[in-house]
Structure 1
Amino acid sequence: PYWMAINAVDEALRNLTAVGGDIERAAILDNFCWGNPTDPVQLGMLVRAVKGCHDAATGFGTPFISGKDSLNNEYRANDQRLPVIPTLLISAVSIIDNAAQTIDMSLKRPGNLLYLIGQTHNELAGSHYIEMVSSIPNTTVPHVDISTARSTMQAIAHAIRLGIIQSCHDLSEGGLAVAAAEMSLAALLGLSIDIERVPHLPDELVPLPQNIRNTILLFSESASRFLVEISPEQKEAFEDHMRAHAVNAIACIGSVTHTKRFEVRNGEQRLVDLAVSDLQAAWKGEQA
């Protein structure tokens, strides 16, 4: 509960950041939906989640201005009283001086470069991938380095307001794979990415089998990460800007393409090669 509460704050603030919001002029709200706090287990999880909210708010320098707590949420099954899954929603608001300086996640132009910002770790516990597909050994929930997260968000938001970044998407449910697919779908443009270039700690992933490494690089839900689109003309300016803000976990992992295909590889190994129209059909629930 502690780390996932911090991750919830991180995700709310990186959603703001991805459109050009300023986390230095932001506020957050909490909404707890929990079981019976007289149950020691439920109370213990609640205390740890509240501690996570406190540490995230003070670490990011972002105040909680309101919230709503809904406790004692239980249901009956097989003559037992069972608590709902403890749920925390964090909402964030920010001041934007000029709406013309905001962006969205849709890809803009073939030939533009795609950069991944932030480290990817073996952090698939509680992830969309594990819920939908299968488990991964020795994984954990996302851990947030608040100092690094804050610097990264400040740098990206500033770059958006300078007009350096053309589109941006935070990495959350489904990790890199889903973020890239959503950016492609939003504009119906193709892209090609190489997960071999994804920033990560080699010592953490090298001992693992190749298929597990691919899964982690594609679907990990490590916090404080962004996928951004940069024009080739802004490549040097963007890299210099990020380094000036002490953001070093950055790599160009691919580009927007003319092909209208969604392509993912690991070096020479092709992992995904789909028509964007097939992605769209799957998203709509149609037979691809």
Structure 2
Amino acid sequence: AQFIDFATTRGAEGESVKDIAKMYERLGHVLGVRILESAVDYVYGRGNAVVREYAEHAKIPVINMADDMFHPSQAITDLYTLKEKLGKIEKKKYVLMWTYSDKIRSWGSIQDEMLIATRFGMDVVLAYPPGFDIDENLVKLAKQNAEESGGSLTISHDYQEALRDADAVFPRSWASHECVVVGMNRFGREKEIELHNKYRDWKLTKQLTDLMSKHGIVTHVLPVFRGQEADDDVMDGPRSVIYDQAENLLYVRAAILALVAGKT
């Protein structure tokens, strides 16, 4: 496997995605593309559009390694981890909890978690403070998933109620709706940080995990911002499965490679 940082290409100087894709299709069997929020000024959909453009031009399989809308391989990994730790996951309560951080992240991981968990019959609770709504079209899709799978999707602005009897929780900070719509430069980083600072109490603590079911688990895609998103005694506690989850990502990505390139 070869790792190519975008900064080592001429993409920032005007080289087209088409030319980059056509060149790299001759150097390997699969092309993985990862475009995080800061590379597209947090403007929603820009990163995903670039990944799709690579896929349009490359003759080899293109794997989305994370963008500003989705994080597919991580979502599959987390579903695998949930099944590994909880067994039967249908009707298990899974809380996707917005948590405070002064580091701003996109909606990608949360949205893919919501989509895959509702597709497999989990009762998903999306818990966040006012102003941090995610993509309404994907919320509608998740509700449709839930109707078809026998699961559910609810939205809560009360994290204590959301966590009550939860079987799993993923504490994660993400950008406000307005910031993502207009972009960080237009919205202003200081303004965004001020919004986050209003909800410093949205942090996963030991006291909050005590509200969960007896065998409830704490997940995270890492990195977790300790002391902000969650306390150390939570992430290092008996409910935490974050290191098993991280290891599972290796196996899932190996399986994906085998599926898309195993016969080439």
Normalization by structure 1: what TM-score? 0.26
Q: Which has the higher strand share?
A: 1
Normalization by structure 2: what TM-score? 0.27
